């Protein structure tokens, strides 16, 4: 039986008081502004245990290129740079990864801590450390040395540390590996937490009718990642639940060389989720993007190949009903939570042979006892796999390197090598489940036998040297798999649109790649729009309604910020759904990212006259709404907000950009949103762009929403937002002569005598 229990009334009241104290501290603690020169001066230059001096070249966006004489020195320098640029971000994530949020925000964080600790994120960490190969261990140890140097010799604490009372301490290998594990959280968890809530609130009959519609639809959405400062918000921030990545072979490009075009999708928040870095040392020469505190390049290029990744939407977890388990089959452990400015609390964590009993916490609360099996509870070597990729020279080396990669499952794209090839493979360790869809989100315990036979990247589909000359990954369902990789995938909108953009009767250029990343056409919206128009055809309406009908009739599905048509369609869709009392159903569809296609199916079943009445009422309301808003960008807003933006009274201080956003839920330039009835923030979407042309080592271009520096008030905290809006990029060259010309600020790290 589940033992979920809320913390008491006194805890909540005291938590509110502690929260007010945190707000007060934020109010009186003003983030000190820093110029680029001041920030670079804060970098300790003589504290590392380097074998030789290291040169760091910086451009005016504070993007570094590191030139080191050994991999050991390079790894230390990268760790130092991570700590310098993103100390507060990675410190806060250390607390998240270990379930210690209440130590920062007080008793109100205790429930987050319990839910996170129930996931048992760090279970495999001791075995991962014990089985780590010597090369990976040496690299990671040296990265830690650099990170801890930044922590121990930080001349001034970041604003967040002052407000939250964080006194940074040196990281251990256990800390780093736990941090890496929470960044491998299963995307299924975000779907489950919404679906389990729906399952609890519905009758058994209604749930059994809804579940087959959801599990056979295809994928999780921005709605699944919504939430304020809660356990689900924590998981959303650390789950790469979207992304586009395309590899174009040399046969399809004007240069005759392959190209990579990638744009990861994540919750949009400050600081930005990645760092751009160039690095050179004997045996390693590359540029790319790293996640703060993680010692590998998630995407980028070396002299031979370029690579990108998207979330596979693999289901590397299962929920099992353990209601029938006896006391002897259940282990118990008591842990202590120490909330800020409050007394310690004891929490009980239970587990069975099938995994931790996640139903004991709020995050995955159920009406029955449920254990979760996750592949991340077993040892794997993601750091080693990505380090090997960083120096791979061919498609075969790239593919082979991914064998030890376990979680979270990724689509991996690589281009280049001999023949300038383009290929796509799946990376992850997954159970070979039966091909039929599960009968429920919670499985009988007997289904655990499906985990006896595991697959790795060598057992999963590969696409390389395709006839069309390119590969596209946009979280769509994989083709030709012998077993279910997962059950919730993105609709084919983005992959089909990218395919259409690359299927030109001419060779492709950099301009084509740039335009593909900026593309905001969503053809899947048009069938819904036409359904509404057909329901009211051959009727006469007042001029104000007729003008809106004509507007929608001429719409091509484009979601440009300056256009009125997407505004009119989205507001009308929301009102029609409300009129037909389908809002709850629509939220379930949004959870699996299939709102447009599933709503189309449902609305086609509505009687024509009833649908027409709903559309007419929607048009009448729309005519009033359009007097307040003139285009899509008026209500569809790209906001670059810090986590402190959720604080009452002072939150606006931590909003660093609020600009019109082009795009929509399923456009290539994704800007996710729920059903729209008013001004709203883009909750999730494209936040990093990368293009590399393999014809030139210097032809590498990156940009992010936000900035390179995590220091609030820095010149480089949000300086790339304007570039992002304009569709511009930052060049990150590989040739040292070009680096010295473009990256005009230099830091020299001294060797220890």
Phi, psi dihedrals of residue 498, rounded to the nearest 5°: -60, -40
641 annotated as belonging to a binding site for a ligand: no
The 10 Å Cβ neighbour count of residue 154 is: 17
Residue pair 662/559 in contact (Cβ under 8 Å)? The answer is: yes
Alpha helices per DSSP H over 275-381: none
- In angstroms, the CA 639 to CA 659 distance is 7
For the chain, the C-alpha Rg in angstroms (whole number) is: 26
The single residue of 243, 316, 371, 516 carrying the catalytic annotation is 243
The DSSP bridge partners found for residue 64 are 58
Residue pair 77/68 in contact (Cβ under 8 Å)? The answer is: yes
Residue pair 58/64 in contact (Cβ under 8 Å)? The answer is: yes
Residue pair 120/351 in contact (Cβ under 8 Å)? The answer is: yes
Nearest partner of 361 among 110, 100, 16, 121, judged by Cα: 110
Indicate the SS3 state at residue 233.
Answer: helix
Residue pair 294/81 in contact (Cβ under 8 Å)? The answer is: no
Confirm whether 516 is a catalytic residue.
no
- In angstroms, the CA 216 to CA 219 distance is 9
- Residue 696 CA to its chain's centroid (Å): 30
Length of the chain: 753
Phi, psi dihedrals of residue 197, rounded to the nearest 5°: -65, -45
Residue pair 305/259 in contact (Cβ under 8 Å)? The answer is: no
Indicate the SS3 state at residue 666.
Answer: coil
- In angstroms, the CA 639 to CA 747 distance is 33
Q: Kindly state the DSSP code that residue 69 receives in the 8-state scheme.
A: S
Alpha helices per DSSP H over 583-710: 583-591, 595-604, 608-625, 632-635
Phi, psi dihedrals of residue 283, rounded to the nearest 5°: 90, 0
Phi, psi dihedrals of residue 737, rounded to the nearest 5°: -60, -40
Distances (CA, A) of 539 to 530, 533, 534, 577, 677: 15, 11, 10, 22, 26
Read off the tokens for 630: 């003139």
- In angstroms, the CA 205 to CA 569 distance is 34
**Order of all β-strands in the sheet with 655-660:** 655-660, 636-641, 680-681
The DSSP bridge partners found for residue 463 are 424
Residue pair 489/476 in contact (Cβ under 8 Å)? The answer is: yes
Residue pair 475/313 in contact (Cβ under 8 Å)? The answer is: yes
The DSSP bridge partners found for residue 347 are 335
Annotated binding site for Ca(2+): 318
> What are the binding residues?
318
Residues noted as catalytic:
243
């Amino acid at each position: 039986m589940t033992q979920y229990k809320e913390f008491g009334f006194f805890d909540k009241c005291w938590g509110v008081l502690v929260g007010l104290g945190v707000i007060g501290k934020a109010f009186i603690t003003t983030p000190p502004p820093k110029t680029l020169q001041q920030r670079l001066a804060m970098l300790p230059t003589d504290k590392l245990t380097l074998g030789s001096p290291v040169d760091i070249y910086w451009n005016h966006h504070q993007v570094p290129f590191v030139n080191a004489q050994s991999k050991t020195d390079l790894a230390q320098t990268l760790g130092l740079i991570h700590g310098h640029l993103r100390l507060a971000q990675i410190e806060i994530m250390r607390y998240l990864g270990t379930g210690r949020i209440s130590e920062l925000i007080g008793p109100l964080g205790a429930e987050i801590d319990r839910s996170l600790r129930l996931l048992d994120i760090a279970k495999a960490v001791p075995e991962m450390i014990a089985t780590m190969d010597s090369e990976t261990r040496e690299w990671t140890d040296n990265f830690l040395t650099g990170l801890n140097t930044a922590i121990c010799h930080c001349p001034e604490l970041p604003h967040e540390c002052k407000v939250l009372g964080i006194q940074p301490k040196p990281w251990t290998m256990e800390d780093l590996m736990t941090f890496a594990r929470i960044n491998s959280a299963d995307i299924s968890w975000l779907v489950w937490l919404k679906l389990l809530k729906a399952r609890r609130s519905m009758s058994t009959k209604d749930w059994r009718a809804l579940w087959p519609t959801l599990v056979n639809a295809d994928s999780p959405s921005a709605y699944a990642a919504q939430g304020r400062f809660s356990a689900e918000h924590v998981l959303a921030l650390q789950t790469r639940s979207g992304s586009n990545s395309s590899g174009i072979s040399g046969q399809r490009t004007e240069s005759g060389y392959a190209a990579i075009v990638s744009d990861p999708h994540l919750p949009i928040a400050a600081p930005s989720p990645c760092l751009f870095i160039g690095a050179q040392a004997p045996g390693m020469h590359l540029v790319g993007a790293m996640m703060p505190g993680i010692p590998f390049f998630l995407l980028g290029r070396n002299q031979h190949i370029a690579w990108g990744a998207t979330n596979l939407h693999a289901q590397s977890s299962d929920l099992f009903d353990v209601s029938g388990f006896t006391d002897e089959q259940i282990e118990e452990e008591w842990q202590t939570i120490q909330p800020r400015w409050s007394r310690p609390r004891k929490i009980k964590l239970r587990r069975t042979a099938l995994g931790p009993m996640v139903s004991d916490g709020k995050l995955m609360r159920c009406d029955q006892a449920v254990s979760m099996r996750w592949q991340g509870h077993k040892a794997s070597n993601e750091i080693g796999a990505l380090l090997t990729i960083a120096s791979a020279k061919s498609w075969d080396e790239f593919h082979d390197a991914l064998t030890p990669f376990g979680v979270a499952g990724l689509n991996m794209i690589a281009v280049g090598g001999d023949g300038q090839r383009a290929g796509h493979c799946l990376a992850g360790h997954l159970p070979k489940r039966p091909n039929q869809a599960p009968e429920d989100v919670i499985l009988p315990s007997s289904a655990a036998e499906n985990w006896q036979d595991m697959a790795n990247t060598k057992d999963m589909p590969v696409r390389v040297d395709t006839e069309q000359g390119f590969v596209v990954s946009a979280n769509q369902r994989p083709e030709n798999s012998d077993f279910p990789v997962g059950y919730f995938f993105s609709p084919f909108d983005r992959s089909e649109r990218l395919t259409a953009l690359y299927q030109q009767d001419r060779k492709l250029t950099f301009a084509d790649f740039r335009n593909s990343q900026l593309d905001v056409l969503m053809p899947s919206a048009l069938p819904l729009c036409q359904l509404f128009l057909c329901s009211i055809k051959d009727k006469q309406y007042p001029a104000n309604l007729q003008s809106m009908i004509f507007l929608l009739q001429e719409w091509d599905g484009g979601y440009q910020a300056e256009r009125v048509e997407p505004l009119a369609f989205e507001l009308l869709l929301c009102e029609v759904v409300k009129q037909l009392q389908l809002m709850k159903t629509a939220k379930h569809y949004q959870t699996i990212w299939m709102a447009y296609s599933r709503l189309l199916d449902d609305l086609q079943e509505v009687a024509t006259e009833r649908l027409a009445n709903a559309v007419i009422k929607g048009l009448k309301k729309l005519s009033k709404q359009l007097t307040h808003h003139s285009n899509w960008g008026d209500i569809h807003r790209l906001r670059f907000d810090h986590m402190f933006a959720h604080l009452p009274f002072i939150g606006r201080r931590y909003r660093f950009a609020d600009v019109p956003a082009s795009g929509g839920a399923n456009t290539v330039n994704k800007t996710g949103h729920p059903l729209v009835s008013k001004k709203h923030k883009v909750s999730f979407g494209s936040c990093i762009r990368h293009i590399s042309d393999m014809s030139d080592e210097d032809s590498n271009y990156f940009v992010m929403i936000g900035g390179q520096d995590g220091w609030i008030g820095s010149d480089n905290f949000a300086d790339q937002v304007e570039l992002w809006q304009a569709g511009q990029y930052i060049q990150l060259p590989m040739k040292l002569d070009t680096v010295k010309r473009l990256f005009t600020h230099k830091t020299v790290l001294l060797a220890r005598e």
